[in-house]
């Protein structure tokens, strides 16, 4: 399970000071048993847990810890992952939206076909082609958005080496050469592409959430999917979609650094708004993933 960075940080404080836990609501937090029998005199700790409601209940989005050495001192808030930078905050929220079958840090219960373990999937070549075509539309859209740069900072995310449009074009050519007809984009890809265009012009923080999730999901779960699906229906053929020029971990790190830098200029409200968009990112990408089994 994902760890609550701020708690471990504050725990070192706890061992040295007399602590009062002012309030907490999350079961994960309560399991840490931070209540102290020592009288709270000067140091004051408060947990705030934001939740968002969805199909699988009330999902903690973030937990914040307010630490103040005296009541006169300005409280210092910390959010899960915050110490490492904003990307870690986005990752924390994303990992909780996985199912346990998808990733070990996942907390959601699997309901939809794409939320089950990949070995249980029943992919078809036609379905996989629909997935690749819709994925290409999404990557075309993301790459056009950063090229156009409706907000100047989007230009930071041009030519990161994570782009997937050209690789997908090559893969679709390969399928064509194998005698497959390539379908037109379908509703999940068209809807997501339209949504991304609108967000990119009106809501840059929400847009960045999608940008992060799409590229980073593909580098993690996406690669596992590619390998397992290829074993089942493509005789193990490795598509260009799953190959990057250069060291992938370095490319990812470069983008993490840029995302962290951009988010440094955001207010806490803007950061929270970005994190709250993660669920929509999972919804749209999940609908496209489901095409593999259609
Ligand atoms: C079948 C579907 C999926 C599977 C099997 C899967 C699996 C995984 C796994 C194994 C990881 C790596 C965990 C680790 O670092 O130990 C991961 C990371 C991640 N996934 Fe997924 N995932 C899936 C779908 C998604 C979706 C739909 C999204 C969002 C659109 C997403 C977003 C992410 C993100 C942001 C990371 C963090 C990547 C990083 O640390 O750099 N995943 N996923």
* Residues 45-68 pLDDT 10s: 343 445 555 444 445 555 554 444
pLDDT at 136: 99
Assigned token pair, 163: 């782009």
pLDDT at 34: 28
Residue 5 Cα to ligand 1 midpoint, Å, equals: 19
Contact 136, 237 (CB under 8 A): no
pLDDT at 42: 34
- CA torsion 105-109-110-116 (nearest 10°) is 30
Please give the model's pTM, rounded to 2 decimal places. Answer: 0.81
How many angstroms separate the CA atoms of 35 and 76, rounded? 20
pLDDT at 79: 82
Residue 262 Cα to ligand 1 midpoint, Å, equals: 22
Is 159 buried (19+), middle (13-18) or exposed (0-12) by CB count in 10 A?
Answer: exposed
Ligand 1 pocket test, pick from 92, 93, 94 with the greatest ligand atom count within 8 Å of Cβ, gives 94
- Which residue puts its alpha carbon closest to atom 19 of ligand 1? 217
Backbone angles phi, psi at 161, to 5 degrees: 90, -10
Residue 148 Cα to ligand 1 midpoint, Å, equals: 28
- Which residue puts its alpha carbon closest to atom 18 of ligand 1? 220
Q: How many Å separate Cα 61 from the centre of its chain?
A: 12
* Residues 86-97 pLDDT 10s: 999 999 999 999
pLDDT at 55: 41
- CB 220 less than 6 A from any atom of ligand 1: yes
- CB 213 less than 6 A from any atom of ligand 1: yes
pLDDT at 74: 63
Residue 221 Cα to ligand 1 midpoint, Å, equals: 5
Residue 23 Cα to ligand 1 midpoint, Å, equals: 32
pLDDT at 78: 76
Question: What domains are defined for the chain?
Answer: 5-83 (no CATH), 86-293 (1.20.910.10)
Instruction: Chunk the chain into consecutive blocks of 10 residues (it has 294) and report each block's average pLDDT, rounded to whole numbers.
Output: 34 28 29 30 40 46 49 68 95 97 95 93 96 99 98 98 98 98 98 98 98 98 96 96 98 98 98 98 98 96
Distances (CA, A) of 36 to 3, 33, 41, 68, 165: 21, 8, 12, 17, 55
């Amino acid at each position: 399970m994902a760890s609550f960075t701020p708690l471990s940080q504050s725990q070192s404080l706890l061992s040295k000071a007399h602590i009062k836990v002012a309030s907490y609501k999350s079961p994960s937090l309560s399991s840490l048993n931070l209540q102290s029998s020592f009288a709270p005199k000067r140091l004051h700790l408060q947990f705030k847990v934001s939740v968002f409601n969805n199909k699988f209940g009330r999902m903690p989005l973030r937990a914040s810890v307010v630490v103040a050495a005296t009541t006169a001192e300005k409280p210092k808030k910390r959010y899960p992952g915050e110490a490492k930078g904003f990307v870690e905050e986005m990752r924390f929220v994303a990992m909780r939206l996985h199912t346990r079958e998808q990733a070990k840090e996942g907390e959601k219960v699997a309901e939809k076909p794409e939320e089950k373990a990949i070995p249980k999937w029943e992919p078809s070549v036609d379905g996989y082609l629909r997935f690749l075509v819709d994925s290409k539309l999404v990557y075309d859209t993301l790459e056009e958005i950063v090229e156009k740069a409706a907000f100047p900072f989007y230009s930071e995310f041009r030519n990161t080496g994570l782009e997937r449009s050209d690789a997908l074009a090559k893969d679709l050519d390969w399928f064509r050469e194998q005698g497959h007809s390539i379908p037109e984009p379908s509703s999940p890809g068209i809807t997501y592409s339209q949504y991304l265009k609108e967000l990119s012009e009106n809501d840059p923080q929400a847009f960045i959430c999608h940008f992060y999730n799409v590229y980073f999901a593909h580098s993690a779960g996406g690669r596992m999917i590619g390998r397992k699906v290829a074993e089942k229906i493509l005789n193990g053929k490795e598509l260009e979609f799953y190959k990057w020029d250069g060291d992938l971990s370095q490319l990812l790190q470069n983008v993490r650094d840029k995302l962290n830098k951009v988010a440094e200029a955001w207010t806490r409200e803007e950061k929270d708004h970005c994190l709250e968009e993660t669920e929509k990112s999972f919804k749209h990408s999940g609908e496209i993933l489901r095409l593999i089994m259609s």
